[in-house]
Amino acid sequence: KQEVTQIPAALSVPEGENLVLNCSFTDSAIYNLQWFRQDPGKGLTSLLLIQSSQREQTSGRLNASLDKSSGRSTLYIAASQPGDSATYLCAVYEETSGSRLTFGEGTQLTVNP
Amino acid sequence: SQTIHQWPATLVQPVGSPLSLECTVEGTSNPNLYWYRQAAGRGLQLLFYSVGIGQISSEVPQNLSASRPQDRQFILSSKKLLLSDSGFYLCAWSGDFRITDTQYFGPGTRLTVL
């Protein structure tokens, strides 16, 4: 059974700092990995999607990397801003169960002005 | 552009009462549809998914059920709610069943069972 773990569970940083969020998964047979953002009481917003054949994806100040063989992904946020405060979730699509998007429990990020 | 709607936004129901949550998608046809539950302190759990009208797959045995009466309508129901049904329910859609497309989430319904 696929398990997705995110470390740390919570993170508080001063504005302007560069930071890294970590995601690991137990079964490397995945189609893709996605990073989402969730604001309190809201739905999820897709940030980046990395196909299993790719190593990284970039969008603005966000950069996500994928090491499929080791079962790890990182989300790098450059020059963090208070507006980046949210919960960040990673999720994987498995090859063996294409319908299933397995989520980690998320990292709650607070960027202090 | 595509949009996804969920209602109600919040709901407080007594134990044993019925439930009906609705999700609709606009701007696309034949979407894949999903129901998730997010309980306090836990990750998102996939409850049901559907690849077409009347086609429902259940991921977790429970007292909930789902139906897809129309192409872009997905309904989550229960005949008798339990305390453990409390949580944040999210509907999502995708265009491609698994490979290249992301899932797009609705705003969610906060359900409290008392």
- Residues 6 or more apart whose Cβ sits within 8 Å of residue A14: A111, A112
pLDDT classification of A84: cutoffs 50, 70, 90: very high
Neighbouring C-alpha atoms within 13 Å toward the C-beta of B1? 2
Residues of chain B with pLDDT under 70: 61, 96-100
Q: What is the pLDDT of residue B101?
A: 72
- What is the pairing mode between strands B3-7 and A62-67? unpaired
For residues A44 and A27, is the Cβ–Cβ distance under 8 A? no
How many inter-chain contacts (A to B, CB under 8 Å) are there?
56
* CA distances, A78 to each of A7, A59, B3, B9 (Å): 18, 11, 30, 34
For residues B45 and B60, is the Cβ–Cβ distance under 8 A? yes
Instruction: Tell if the CB–CB gap between A101 and B46 is shorter than 8 Å.
Output: yes
pLDDT classification of A85: cutoffs 50, 70, 90: very high
Cis bond leading into A8, ω under 30°?
A: yes
Q: What is the pLDDT of residues A12-36, one digit of tens each?
A: 999 999 999 999 999 888 888 999 9
For residues B5 and B105, is the Cβ–Cβ distance under 8 A? no
CB atoms within 10 A of CB B101: 17
Kindly tell me if the per-residue pLDDT of A76 is higher than 90.
yes
pLDDT classification of A78: cutoffs 50, 70, 90: very high
Q: What is the pLDDT of residue A99?
A: 58
Q: What percent of chain A has pLDDT over 90?
A: 80
Interface test with B, best of A47, A54, A94, A99 (most B CBs within 10 A): A99
A46: its two tokens? 């897709």
Average pLDDT, whole number, for chain A?
92
- Could you tell me which residues are beta bridge partners of residue A105? none
Q: What is the pLDDT of residues B79-105, one digit of tens each?
A: 999 999 999 999 999 886 555 578 899
Chain A residues bordering chain B (beta-carbon distance below 8 Å):
4, 31-32, 34, 36, 41-46, 49, 51, 89, 91, 93, 98-101, 103-106
Q: What is the pLDDT of residue B40?
A: 76
Which positions in chain B touch A104 (Cβ < 8 Å)? 43
Does residue B42 belong to the interface with chain A, where contact is any CB pair within 8 Å? yes
Q: What is the pLDDT of residue A1?
A: 82
B71 or A93: which leads in pLDDT: B71
Average pLDDT rounded to a whole number, residues A84-104 = 83
What is the chain A residue with the closest CA to B111? A41
Kindly tell me if the per-residue pLDDT of A96 is higher than 90.
no
User: If you ran DSSP here, which 8-state letter would residue B28 be given?
Assistant: -
